[in-house]
Amino acid sequence: MAGYIAFDLGASSGRAVLGEIRDGHLELEEIHRFGNRPVWLRGNLYWDILAIYREILEALSKVAARGKRVRSIGIDTWGVDFGLIAKDGSLIGNPFAYRDPRTEGAPERVFRKLSWERLYEITGIQLMTLNSLFQLYVMVEAGHPWLKIADRLLFLPDLLNYFLTGQAVSEITIASTSQVLDARKRQWSDEICNALGLPRHILTELIPSGHILGPLSEEVSRETGLKAERVVATAGHDTACAVAAVPASGADWAYLSSGTWSLMGVELPEPLISPEARELNFTNEAGVYGSIRFLKNISGLWLLQECRRIWGDRHSYEELVSLAERAQPFRCFVYPDHPSFLAPGDMPEAIRRFCRETGQDPPEDEGAFTRCILESLALRYRTVFDSIGKLLGRRPARLHVVGGGSKNRLLNQFTADALNVTVLAGPSEATACGNILVQAIADGELKGIEEGRELLRRSMQLVVYEPREPASWQEAYERYRAIERKYEAAGSG
């Protein structure tokens, strides 16, 4: 049997997964995993892209050592971040990380040259200071020396594909996270580039998900011992992969890709760009095979991950969930998307400070902190889910939760409770699954995305959560919503 290698690279860890379709089922095997953390250097936050690349080579070497035949290789990562390539093909510095503070205040300066209303009308992308547009604009403002020698801009999965193959192109799903892409035309926006003075010449050719880039370079094959004829530009954005792997049927469903970030939305055939969608800050990102991922970013399990880091990782996530189950319910809430929770730091202290500022008793131990975070996330999901219903004119009948957060049974139950809707959890490996599905479609082993989702329904066991105690959760939501409205009115939501 021959398999597909999916590199699924997240902001805190990366892994290589081998996928094979056998007897009508998708079988996955993790072959390599590694940590990934940005590095602070003289006031800026960077990704160690060469360390990530070294881990990719290590994974390919492991596959070669097993004598495994590879049908193709695909890479997905988080969105917005990019690297720059010089005319001689060399890498210019380490890419900045999206949590770097240099873009603070950039949107206000951009809007003096191109209004927020017009920017949204072109791109349909939600306002987040970490978007590629603002990252690039602050470099233009500062006359950053890297831009003077840059020949091409490559988003991270495209950059790593370039390392493997020498092909420098931009896959559509990852490009759409930039806020420089015209959502309707699916082309780079000359209007945005001209208005803001962005270097249009460094934006590379756009290609669809599933485009075959070619074989591994001779250099990579020599170093790893692996011969692979196909590197595929799979859905480069990890959320696009996760949505491709939602094992749903019919049309009346929404999804929640749950991990460090939570991304809640629906799959649409066309962008939904309207003043109402702009006011609610929803985004229209490109999905696979011409679809649109209409969604909203929510700061997800990042809050709990950062708390656990400060606590010294002395409890597993399952232990924290058990502690949270025994903690007092609805004691206090935080607004997960508050700016004070965005950057790495002392997250427990940030939560205490938020609670004191909003007249609430702060949590006192790990169980109480965990319960506060999980309840607050579920209640934030309620607001976003209701907004989706308002914009669509119908409330989805069920919510599919995919990604690593789908294993958090307490958060899943809280989500069903808060939304008063059926939640179906799984697969937890959705991003790797979607990565592999796109490769298999490119290879011709699958005919299309619907066949791929049917394959997943046969292969994965979903866990169903039904809502409980709607009255108590409604009361909690009203308390939470009063806090949330305060920060929405202040422009933090």
Identical fold between 2-237 and 248-426+462-493: yes
Query: Rounded mean pLDDT of 88-94?
Result: 97
Number of Cβ within a 10 Å radius of residue 87: 9
Which CATH architecture group holds 248-426+462-493? 2-Layer Sandwich (3.30)
337: tokens are 């998307």
pLDDT at 20: 96
Beta pairing, strands 206-207 & 170-171: parallel
> Is the separation of the CB atoms in 17 and 76 below 8 Å?
no
Which are the contacts of 402, defined by CB distance < 8 A and separation ≥ 6? 242, 245, 246, 255, 256, 257, 258, 425, 426, 427, 428, 430
Of the candidates 373, 310, 302, 474, the residue with the CA atom closest to the CA atom of residue 362? 373
- How many of the other CB atoms lie within 10 Å of CB of 488? 16
Identify the band that residue 493 occupies on the pLDDT scale cut at 50, 70 and 90. very low
Would you give the DSSP letter of residue 446?
A: S
- List, in sequence order, the alpha helices (H) in 299-448: 302-310, 317-326, 347-357, 366-392, 409-419, 430-443
DSSP annotation of 253: E
pLDDT at 27: 96
- What residues contact residue 342 under an 8 Å CB cut-off, 6+ apart? 99, 299
What predicted TM-score, i.e. pTM, was given to this entire model? Answer: 0.92
Q: Which amino acid is located at 256 in the chain?
A: L
Q: Which three-class secondary structure state does DSSP give residue 30?
A: strand
Tally the residues of the chain.
493
Query: ∠ CA 309-428-397 to the nearest 5 degrees?
Result: 115
Q: Measuring CA to CA, which residue among 465, 432, 463, 436 is closest to residue 449?
A: 436
Q: What is the mean pLDDT of residues 460-489?
A: 94
- Are residues 195 and 177 in contact, defined by beta-carbon separation less than 8 angstroms? no
Residue 1 has pLDDT above 70, yes or no: no
pLDDT of residue 467: 97
Cis (ω within 30 of 0) for the bond into 95? no
Domain boundaries, the chain: 2-237, 248-426+462-493
- Reduced to 3 states (helix: H, G, I; strand: E, B; else coil), residue 17 is strand
The structure tokens listed for 240 are 């696009």
Sequence-distant (6+) residues with CB within 8 A of 400 are: 246, 247, 248, 253, 254, 255, 256, 423, 424
What is the spatial distance between Cα 97 and Cα 46, in angstroms, rounded to a whole number?
5
Those residues whose C-beta lies under 8 Å from the C-beta of residue 54, and which sit 6 or more positions away, are: none
| pLDDT for the residue numbered 407 | 96
**3-class SS at 111?**
helix
The architecture (CATH level 2) of 2-237 comes to 2-Layer Sandwich (3.30)
Average pLDDT, the chain: 96
> What is the Cα–Cα distance from 328 to 389, expressed in whole angstroms?
31
Res 465: pLDDT: 98
The confidence score (pLDDT) of residue 488 equals 79
Q: Give dist(CA 29, CA 20) in Å, integer.
A: 9
Q: Active-site residues: which are they?
A: 238
Q: Residue 492 pLDDT > 70, yes or no?
A: no
Is it the case that residue 55 has pLDDT exceeding 90?
yes
Q: pLDDT > 90: what percent of the chain?
A: 94
